[in-house]
Amino acid sequence: MGKEFERTDVAETPAAPEAVWDAIATGPGIDSWYMGRNEVEGGPGGTVRGAFAAYQPEFPITAWEPPNRLAYGGEPEPDGRRIGYEFLVEGRAGGSTVIRCVTSGFLPGDDWAEEFEAMTAGGALFFRNLQEYVAHFPGRAATPVTAFGPPVEDWPALWTALGKRLGAPELVVGDAVQLDGADGVVYARNEQTLGIRTGEGLYCFLQGFRGPMVVCHHVFTPGADAAAEEAKWGEWLAGIR
């Protein structure tokens, strides 16, 4: 069987179209809101490359119209799996910009439902990350940090423990928290993800697909050491009880 899917996310941001383009069409820009490490070989026929643990996709660029349209991906893998992204960026009077992101593709097999749920929850978080990045950290490039906690047997219990450790037991959007020695605010929350913004970063917690809790942090502190940060957050996750 399998599952054809298409998801459209739309948001308006105070950033200019050129700032949004830099966020979606350059490696440092994507690093500052999406998962893992990313490289962009720009232009028609170019490539967007990602690296998130063992997942290292290469997506051919199929549309390159700066600063208004970018599309990449959509090529099927041997098992029929495919995913493609299209960004439409429209400037508005007064200097704001509307961002539209269409994610589409196909998940093969009869067990697609769990993966689709995780993809949907994660996609919502990362689109929100894009908005937070261009609104609160314009012109800055983050050090991307990815760390994994231990295996999880009881997700509701882990989310509850995480909320208590952050000082916000309910973990709802707008909650004030304490994280990494700084004041923060919850800007995104759904059943599988949490996003927190501080003055120096975006901190993302995800319910790993068939695995542990994952952190995908975007640290804007100059000179941040990715390896040291990843080790620190792996220990931090292991200490949540």
Residues 62 and 118 in one domain: yes
Across the 241 residues of the chain, what is the mean pLDDT of every consecutive 10-residue run? 95 97 98 97 96 92 98 94 97 94 96 92 97 96 96 95 96 97 97 97 93 95 95 95 80
Per-residue pLDDT tens over the stretch 38-48? 999 999 999 99
Same domain, 129 and 154: no
| Residue 173 neighbours by CB under 8 Å, 6+ apart | 186, 187, 188, 189
Residue type, 46: G
The 193-198 sheet, strands edge to edge: 143-148, 213-219, 201-207, 193-198, 182-190, 176-179
The answer to whether 125 and 218 are in contact (CB under 8 A) is no
For helices 17-25 and 112-136, what crossing angle results, to 10°? 130
CA 191 to CA 232: how far, in whole Å? 25
Task: Clarify whether residues 128 and 188 are in a common domain.
Answer: no
Q: Is the domain of 125 the same as that of 165?
A: no
Q: Same domain, yes or no, for 75 and 182?
A: no
The domain boundary, picked from 136, 155, 182, lies at 136
pTM of the shown model: 0.96
> Which of 86, 119, 136 lies at the terminal end of a domain, its last residue?
136
Q: What CATH number is associated with residue 175?
A: 3.30.530.20
Give the total number of structural domains in the chain: 2
Residue 114 sits in which domain range? 3-136
Let me know whether 110 and 227 are in one domain: no
